[in-house]
Amino acid sequence: MRVAVLGAGYAGLTLARKLEQTLPDSVSLVVVDEQTEHLVQHELHRVVRRPSLAEEITVDLDDVLDCEIRQATVTDVDPDAGVATLDGSETLSYDVGAVCLGARTAFYGLPGVREHATPLKRLDDAHVIREQFHGLSDGDRVVVGGAGLSGVQVAGELAEMREDSDIEVLLLEQEDAVAPAFPASFQSAVHDALVDAGVTVRTGTGVAEADADVITLTDGSDLTMDQFVWTGGIEGSPALDADRPVVRADLRLGESTFAVGDAARVVDSDGEAVPASAAAAIREARVAADNIGTLVERLQGSSGEFQPRLTQYQFNVPGWLVSVGDDAVAKVGPSVLTGRAALALKTTVGAGYLGTVGAVQNAVDLVSEELDLTGEVENE
């Protein structure tokens, strides 16, 4: 019997690690990913300012998994048949599987945006953003399109990189507030932190189109720019025709296939839509591991249930956390934290995640890097 995990992002790696601990020895586990390394995506913005951090936020899959790992691109999935197509031709059949392919940057067909803006999804993107920014001069403007958590974080990093120059960092959001998917108290604290960092915040208007020098906004006005970073939204994997299919609380996409993390739009056991986030993906993966174990048990004939009872996912995270340059904002329960308390919490969360996936040395190095940064801030 074969169990396949398609993708090794937050959801896929967490799921694979859990399955290694719980699946019977008679079951083979295969993990498929385009890369041989796992990227800690929520720390990627740091690499724009501190390229050395790249080593701490990449984890070799061979170092943290003890199963078959195939480096390949999943180009199609038939969740009912239990078949994945790899690299456009090879097929991988599985008895139980999980689609953990994450999401891609969505450009929504906006003319010129894909051609003239840089997304922030890979290490290469962070390096390009850094190089372009270092090519700017006094009086130039960099526009960050999209004020979700990724946009907030990269705008904060760019603002800190200006040093004594008067380069403008402008964060653009079509909704009426930054971090629009989050509670109002968190939005307000994030907005204040951005302003304190010197970021120009413009809400209530979006991007209609772009060329090399000008962004045309949905209100009809033009915005000149010298660099354009795009974090304006996500779409599904090409293997799912760029769709993020809706899955219910059992996370089932097909008869024996689950969808976990940003690859799908999850509706939890309370009927609530779950926001795309690392915190949600990690917790969904734990539920998916339980449900895969249940199906494996049934398929191996040790359970007589025709329709096994599957665990239901309920969205429940302790809070939200975002970096804003040398500051951070955290919402824990009803409390909103900023400054050193939020920075310490962010470091703890990042290192804690690395520890849970077996990358202990990365966790230690990340804490060291963050403590160095905190020391630099305190000494200024």
Per-residue pLDDT band at 348 (split at 50, 70, 90): confident
Residue 170 in contact with residue 144, Cβ under 8 Å?
Answer: yes
Determine the Cα angle at 69 with ends 1 and 20, to 5°. 55
What are the CB-based long-range contacts (under 8 Å, 24+) for 213-219?
215/143, 215/145, 215/172, 217/172, 218/174
Looking at the domain 107-232+319-379, which fold is it? FAD/NAD(P)-binding domain (3.50.50)
Rounded Cα distance, 37 and 9, in Å: 9
Q: What is the pLDDT of residues 221-255, one digit of tens each?
A: 999 999 999 999 999 999 999 999 999 999 999 98
What token pair was written down for 213? 């020098």
Note the pLDDT of residue 87.
Answer: 96
Per-residue pLDDT band at 374 (split at 50, 70, 90): very low
Is residue 354 over pLDDT 60?
A: yes
Predicted TM-score (pTM) of this structure: 0.89
- What percent of the chain is modeled with pLDDT above 90? 77
Distances in whole angstroms, Cα of residue 232 to Cα of each of 16, 25, 201, 283, 286: 30, 44, 15, 25, 29
Helices (H) and strands (E) in the chain, counts: 10, 24
Q: What is the pLDDT of residues 263-303, one digit of tens each?
A: 999 999 999 999 888 889 999 999 999 999 999 999 987 55
Tell me whether the CATH fold assigned to 2-34+72-104+235-299 matches the one assigned to 107-232+319-379.
yes
Report the candidate in 94, 48, 41, 47 with the shortest Cα–Cα distance to residue 70: 94
Q: What is the pLDDT of residues 58-73, one digit of tens each?
A: 999 999 999 999 999 9
Report the candidate in 316, 253, 258, 245 with the shortest Cα–Cα distance to residue 289: 258
Is residue 359 over pLDDT 70?
A: no
The architecture (CATH level 2) of 2-34+72-104+235-299 comes to 3-Layer(bba) Sandwich (3.50)
Note the pLDDT of residue 347.
Answer: 73
Could you tell me how many residues make up the chain?
380
DSSP letter at 243 equals -
Q: What is the pLDDT of residues 186-208, one digit of tens each?
A: 999 999 999 999 999 999 999 99
**Domain residue ranges of the chain, discontinuous segments joined by +:** 2-34+72-104+235-299, 107-232+319-379
Q: What is the pLDDT of residues 201-230, one digit of tens each?
A: 999 999 999 999 999 999 999 999 999 999
Amino acid at 368: S
Is residue 376 over pLDDT 50?
A: no
The count of other CB atoms within 10 Å of the CB of residue 164 is 5
Q: What is the pLDDT of residues 145-186, one digit of tens each?
A: 999 999 999 999 999 999 889 999 999 999 999 999 899 999
Q: Which positions ≥6 away from 278 have C-beta within 8 Å?
A: 10, 41, 42, 353
Is residue 373 over pLDDT 50?
A: no
Residue 340 in contact with residue 328, Cβ under 8 Å?
Answer: no
Determine the Cα angle at 171 with ends 168 and 173, to 5°. 155
Is residue 371 over pLDDT 60?
A: no
Note the pLDDT of residue 302.
Answer: 58
